[in-house]
Amino acid sequence: MKIIAIGRNYAEHAKELNNPVPTVPVIFMKPDTALLRENKAFYHPDFSEDIHHEIEIVLKVCKEGKNISEKFASNYYDEIGLGIDFTARDIQSRHKEKGLPWELAKAFDGSAPVSNFILKSEFADLYDLSFKLDINGELRQQGNTKDLLFSFERIITFVSQYITLKKGDLIFTGTPQGVGKVNIGDHLEGFLENKRMLDFYVK
């Protein structure tokens, strides 16, 4: 499986990092070794002084497809979960300055904790889903899918022009504003529509 992630998909987050609001989706990938499941602890890597949390809605792809039209894109994901796109912001900033790829900042081991998944049919409106991240019991990030710049269907259509989607692939759909540093000992709790989906520690 592969993990595809969308950058700058909430305008307020693009602005907080002084990035332009994109006119086409910004895409990057993480390998399967980035995946962290079952609320296992995230071990803070020693190559970064500034690991940031980015809480995101994650789609699970349910069938193979290429060049998927937007009209049929909703048939290609059937479950929704929550994930953290951990980002070594110091490395990313250095690489952005030089125009270099982001992999060392985004694709490292354990950089993609993912919750269990819920059938999308259990939600009344996929474009009014609230989600949030608490750290040590304090609210840090809060978002709602009504503020997405690119819809889930648009993302699937766009990505599948370039990369075949396969069953089991995960798509991180972007983070709302409020990203910030995590520290060893932090307790992260992620909520989707007030259901606790993520609950783990930084070690």
Whether 144 and 129 have beta carbons less than 8 Å apart is answered as: yes
Q: Report d(CA 190, CA 82) in Å as an integer.
A: 7
Choice between 85 and 134, CB closer to Mg ion: 85
Shortest spacing between CB 173 and Mg ion, in angstroms: 9
Could you say which of 44, 48, 54, 131 contacts Mg ion (CB under 5 A)? 54
Q: How many residues bind Mg ion (CB under 5 A)?
A: 3
DSSP state of 75: G
Interface region with Mg ion, contact rule CB under 5 A, candidates 49-57, 75-83, 121-129, 151-159: 49-57
Shortest spacing between CB 30 and Mg ion, in angstroms: 10
Cα angle value 58/33/65 (rounded, 5°): 50
Shortest spacing between CB 5 and Mg ion, in angstroms: 6
Choice between 26 and 163, CB closer to Mg ion: 26
Tokens of 108: 């490292």
Shortest spacing between CB 134 and Mg ion, in angstroms: 18
Footprint of Mg ion on residues 76-135 (CB under 5 A)? 85
DSSP state of 65: B
Whether 107 and 147 have beta carbons less than 8 Å apart is answered as: no
**Residue 76 half-sphere exposure, CB side, CA atoms within 13 Å?**
24
DSSP state of 22: P
Shortest spacing between CB 75 and Mg ion, in angstroms: 25
- Give the residue closest to Mg ion by C-beta: 85
What phi-psi label fits residue 115: left (phi over 0), alpha (psi between -120 and 50 degrees) or beta? beta
Which residue in this structure is represented by tokens 């040590």?
136
Choice between 74 and 177, CB closer to Mg ion: 177
State the binding string over 157-176 for Mg ion (x if CB under 5 A, else -).
Answer: ------------------x-
Q: Which residues bind Mg ion (CB under 5 A)?
A: 54, 85, 175
